[in-house]
Amino acid sequence: MSREMLEAELHGLRSSAGSSRADHIAVIRVDGPGAFDLLEHASTRRLYLREGQMRHTLLLHEDAGIFADVYIGSADDGLYVLAEGPTEAELVAWLQELRERRFPAARVEVGGQAEERVTLGVDGPYAWEVVSGLLGRVVLGMPYLTLLRRDDVLCLRAGKTGEYGYLLVVPRSQAAGLEARLAEVGRPLGLVTVGREALDVCALENGHFSMRALRETALARPLTPIELQQQWRVAYDKVFVGSEALRARRAEGPRVRATSFTADAALVPGQTVQLGGEDVGEVLASTFSPSLGGWVGTALLTRRLAHPHVELAARSDTGVVHLTTRTPPLIDNLSLHVDPHKHSFATRAAAGSLSRPETTP
Amino acid sequence: MTAARDLDAYLERRERTLDEVRRLMASIIDYRGDPADIDPDAGLFGTGLGLDSLDAVEVLIGLEIDLGVRLEGDDAMRLGLRSVNAVVDVVMRARGELR
């Protein structure tokens, strides 16, 4: 994709809303009397789910490396898992293997949804206006991390762009019609279609963890929630897949930590980061940010230096790239200024026009 | 912002302030674990520590009483309370330890 196209997508998403096909998210449904116990044992955090609620949690490998970044939600008398990382088939196989190993007598059905359903994403400061135009004003009252059903559409309030975000799980047979309706509703609201690349830029600008930023690294193998600053999704006082290895890693003390940065030129994953000529880390992910007018990314840095406002360097083929560690989010998201009960896209001048670089408070 | 010669001093102050902010957050959310497990970049509201609007008032009071930092103005509150590290930035700036 050209930089101009990407910039147009990002401008639309950051100023109005962007819709996307969330094909990178595997959606499965888990049913049966043993469904909750199975997912509770899989999840790094306690689920405590009531109907209509979701938890943002993780699934780990036994070595504590991250297997999936998941939302687990309760709806329609069953549990839904929306996962980034594994394919649907890998996720179903992982849960079935866990059931056979830990709960062999439990009655649990694990079913992939991809054959029958499509997942769409709508993100942006006016995403709520687009989705409420599609599904009704009930959407306006949805707190973050809740889900509701409207006819055949399962609507989840969640996202990783720093803006208002919704996921719509719709029957495959109705997807084309719903996308056409979405485009119609969204046209006067400035809705644009965005791809995964734009979503990944937004995630990096806001310091959100992305499964696509995971990579093999000699600094910490595997990368666990500790190095990736995802311990807010871990309950150390419960047993889950990978909990023993994670506790062992915690007892050792973290050697490295993922840290956001801005840079004055392009960097690539795996590139070595240095301080005074000494290797102190490596780049996990990096991209150009049109909103910031420069390069942003995440680096895995030695624990001592993994703080904001530290000036570092990386050698590239064309010379030295200067980078500065930052406090995420790097963006003052327009969604922070937009209140669905006060504003609308039509009166957007009152709230500002675009998410902009973070400024010092 | 950090010159090589005072990097060590900055990092030491940063760690110390991070510990203070972690302890403050742990007390507000009644965190039962080790405050050192609170990720520096964890968000305060929604994703992250999951604070609500009542907790926000407690953070402001805790910042003022425990750390001697008063946050005033919508921008300061909106931007300064987005993550643990954002709070650390606010405290260090108020103390003249960060430009």
What backbone torsions phi and psi does residue B87 show, to the nearest 5 degrees?
Answer: -65, -40
In tens, the pLDDT along A72-81 reads 999 988 999 9
* Nearest-Cα residue of chain A relative to residue B75: A361
Residues of B with CB under 8 A from a CB of A: 1-2, 4, 7, 10-11, 14-15, 18, 32-33, 37-43, 46-50, 71, 73, 75-80, 82-83, 85-86, 88-90, 93, 98
- Tokens read off for A47: 């689920």
Q: Is the backbone peptide bond immediately before A329 cis, with ω within 30 degrees of 0?
A: yes
Which residues, 6 or more positions from A213, have their beta carbon under 8 angstroms from its beta carbon? A204, A269, A284, A285, A298
A207–B41 CB contact, under 8 Å:
yes
Which pLDDT value is given to residue A86? 95
A311–B2 CB contact, under 8 Å:
yes
* Nearest-Cα residue of chain B relative to residue A161: B47
A230 touches chain B (CB under 8 A): yes
B91: left (phi over 0), alpha (psi -120 to 50) or beta: alpha
**Section B15-24 average pLDDT:** 97
Which pLDDT value is given to residue B99? 79
Angle between helices A172-186 and A127-135 (to 10 degrees): 120
ipTM of the complex: 0.92
Q: Are strands A278-289 and A356-357 parallel, antiparallel or unpaired?
A: unpaired
In tens, the pLDDT along A310-325 reads 999 998 777 899 999 9
* Nearest-Cα residue of chain B relative to residue A358: B79
Return per-residue pLDDT of chain A as tens, 361 residues: 788 999 999 999 999 999 999 999 999 999 999 999 999 999 999 998 999 999 999 999 999 999 999 999 999 889 999 999 999 999 999 999 999 999 999 999 999 999 999 999 999 999 999 999 999 999 999 999 999 999 999 999 999 999 999 999 999 999 999 999 999 999 999 999 999 999 999 999 999 998 888 877 777 789 999 999 999 999 999 999 999 999 999 999 889 999 999 999 999 999 999 999 999 999 999 999 998 999 999 999 999 999 999 999 998 777 899 999 999 999 999 998 898 888 888 887 766 666 666 654 3
B90–A144 CB contact, under 8 Å:
no
Average pLDDT, chain B: 88
In tens, the pLDDT along B24-58 reads 999 998 888 899 999 999 999 888 898 888 888 89
B41–A307 CB contact, under 8 Å:
no
Which pLDDT value is given to residue A360? 42
Mutate to test the interface with B, among A223, A275, A360 (most CBs of B within 10 A): A360
- Tokens read off for A318: 């064309």
Burial class (CB in 10 A: 0-12, 13-18, 19+), A276: exposed
- Tokens read off for A172: 């495959």
A327–B89 CB contact, under 8 Å:
yes
Contact A289/A330 with Cβ under 8 angstroms?
A: yes
Q: Which residues of B touch A208 (CB under 8 A)?
A: 47
